[in-house]
Amino acid sequence: MSTTTVAPHQETPAGPTPDGGGGRVGGGLFDPKLLLKSFPDALRKLDPRVMVKSPVMFVVEVGSVLTTVFALLNPGDWFGWAITAWLWLTTLFANLAEAVAEGRGKAQADTLRKAKSDTVARRVTGPDEERVPGAELRIGDLVVCEAGDVIPGDGDVVEGVASVDESAITGESAPVIRESGGDRCAVTGGTKVLSDRIVVRITTKPGETFIDRMINLVEGAARQKTPNEVALNILLASLTVVFLLAVVTLQPFATYAGAAQSMIVLVALLVCLIPTTIGALLSAIGIAGMDRLVQRNVLAMSGRAVEAAGDVSTLLLDKTGTITLGNRQAAEFLPVRGVTAAELADAAQLSSLSDETPEGRSVVVLAKEEYGLRERHQGELVGAQWVAFTAQTRMSGVDVDGRKVRKGATGSVVAWVKERGGRVADDAQELTDRISQAGGTPLLVALEDADGARVLGVVHLKDVVKDGMRERFEELRRMGIRTVMITGDNPLTAKAIAEEAGVDDFLAEATPEDKMALIKREQAGGKLVAMTGDGTNDAPALAQADVGVAMNTGTSAAKEAGNMVDLDSNPTKLIEIVEIGKQLLITRGALTTFSIANDVAKYFAIIPAMFAVVYPGLDTLNIMGLSSPQSAILSAVIFNALIIVALVPLALKGVRYRPMSADRMLRRNLGIYGLGGLVAPFVGIKIIDLLLSLVPGLR
394 annotated as a binding-site residue: yes
- Phi/psi for 36 (5° steps) reads -65, -40
Is 538 annotated to bind a ligand? Reply is yes
User: What is the number of other CB atoms lying within 10 angstroms of the CB of residue 245?
Assistant: 10
Phi, psi of 425 (to 5 degrees): -60, 145
How many CB atoms within 10 Å of residue 669?
20
Query: What is the biggest distance separating any 2 CA atoms in the chain, rounded to whole angstroms?
Result: 118
CB 632 within 8 A of CB 689: yes
Q: Is 407 one of the annotated binding-site residues?
A: yes
The reply to whether 523 sits in an annotated binding site is: no
392 has binding-site annotation: yes
Helix (H) or strand (E) holding 620: none
Residues 6+ apart with CB under 8 A from 517: none
Q: Which listed residue (291, 318, 346, 568) is catalytic?
A: 318
Q: Concatenated DSSP letters for 243-305?
A: HHHHHHHHHHHHHHTT-PPPHHHHHHHHHHHS-HHHHHHHHHHHHHHHHHHHHTTEEES-HHH
Question: Kind and range of the H or E element at 632?
Answer: helix 629-653
CA distances (Å), origin 355, targets 249, 341, 378, 530, 664: 85, 21, 11, 36, 54
Indicate the burial class of 225 (C-beta count within 10 angstroms; 0-12, 13-18, 19 or more).
Answer: middle
Q: Interior CA angle at 616 toward 610 and 621, to 5°?
A: 65
- Do residues 401 and 378 make contact, with C-beta atoms less than 8 angstroms apart? no
At position 621, the amino acid (one-letter code) is L
State yes or no: is 318 an active-site residue: yes
What residues contact 105, with CB distance under 8 A and at least 6 apart?
217, 218, 219, 220, 287, 290, 291, 294
What is the H or E stretch that residue 22 is in? none
Provide the phi-psi class of 196: left if phi over 0, else alpha when psi is between -120 and 50, else beta. left
Q: What are phi and psi of 645, to 5 degrees?
A: -60, -40
Q: Give the residue ranges of DSSP H helices in 565-628.
A: 573-611
Alpha-helical (H) ranges within 141-226 are 167-170, 210-219
Residue 514 annotated in ligand binding: no
Residue 416's Cβ-count burial label (10 Å; 0-12, 13-18, 19+) is buried
Distance of alpha carbon 140 from its chain centroid, rounded?
30
How far apart CA 58 and CA 248 sit, in angstroms, is 17
Q: Is 668 annotated as a binding residue?
A: no
To 5 degrees, how large is the angle CA 602–CA 604–CA 606?
65
Cα-flanking dihedrals φ and ψ of residue 476, to 5°?
Answer: -60, -35
Backbone angles phi, psi at 159, to 5 degrees: -155, 130
Q: Is 295 annotated as a binding residue?
A: no
Indicate the DSSP class of residue 627.
S
Question: Is 412 flagged in the annotation as binding?
Answer: no
What are the phi and psi torsion angles at 331 (to 5°)?
A: -110, -35
Mark the binding-site residues for ATP, compressed into ranges.
355, 359, 389-396, 407
Residues annotated in the binding site, as ranges? Answer: 355, 359, 389-396, 407, 534, 538
Can you say which residues are annotated as belonging to the binding site for Mg(2+)? 534, 538
| Residues assigned a catalytic role | 318
